[in-house]
Amino acid sequence: MFCGHCGGRLTSIVYREKYTRKKDGTVYDRSQLKYLCYHKSRGLCKCDGQSTYVAERVDAAVVELIHQMFENIKDAPDEGDIQKRFAKESASSKAQQTKLNLELKKNSDQLLKLQDEIGATLTGDSVYTPEQLSTAIKTVENRIVNIKDKIERLQNEVNCKKASLEQIRPMFEQFVRWARDFDTCTIEQKKMIISRLVTRIELHKDYELTVELNEEYQKFCENWVKLTESSVISA
């Protein structure tokens, strides 16, 4: 959880208030958990946000937002459509890799020819000077390295998309289980679920919340942007 004004991390503190009521001598002693902007409290930056926020109010607002999100779960992802999209992207990547492999062979053949010239250059029978040949070899070698890097990146992208595809169904099933159990969970269990779903929470003045949902789960929730736009805790 972070301060929405200075970006610093918020820490948890226990605020204790104790006093005696003069009228009847009643002693009041209460403790309250709060979120503290460490940077502002220590004067580390010019933060124009609040110093503290009542944790109970913040937690309740986040829980309510996640509750509303679970009520807007999309239907299970269509695996057929996902497979088609993946096949299309894979075909595009394969076409790019084929083109790059042709370039790689062309440059590798060129490098072999240049290397064959080394002996002729040493005896003075080559059309190249040693300096020209060295520069040409270095240029082709760099070109080969760049092409290999591009091929590797393309293959890594395909592998990552394939892994992500394989995870969609189990992720959705986990998401549905969380939605089913969320309202009956303990506050500790709810915080665990929220920690898996949410990547960042920012607190602003007047208890306005900005909540970033894990991108992997956003595809299962309709109207997430609309929900977060209205995520303000009433005073």
Domain locations along the chain: 79-168
Residue 214 sits at the vertex; the CA angle it makes with 213 and 220, to the nearest 5 degrees, is 85
Share of residues in the chain with pLDDT > 90 (%):
32
> What does the pLDDT average to over 97-110?
94
Higher pLDDT, 3 or 121: 3
> Which tokens is 70 given?
């679970």
pLDDT at 230: 53
Higher pLDDT, 85 or 125: 125
> What does the pLDDT average to over 204-225?
80
pLDDT at 41: 86
Q: What are the phi and psi torsion angles at 27 (to 5°)?
A: -95, 125
Q: Name the pLDDT band for 229 (thresholds 50, 70, 90).
A: low
pLDDT at 235: 38
Condensed to tens digits (0 to 9), the pLDDT of residues 137-181 reads: 999 999 999 999 999 999 898 888 777 677 777 888 888 889 889
Q: Name the pLDDT band for 234 (thresholds 50, 70, 90).
A: very low
Give residues with Cβ within 8 angstroms of 187, minimum separation 6. 59, 63
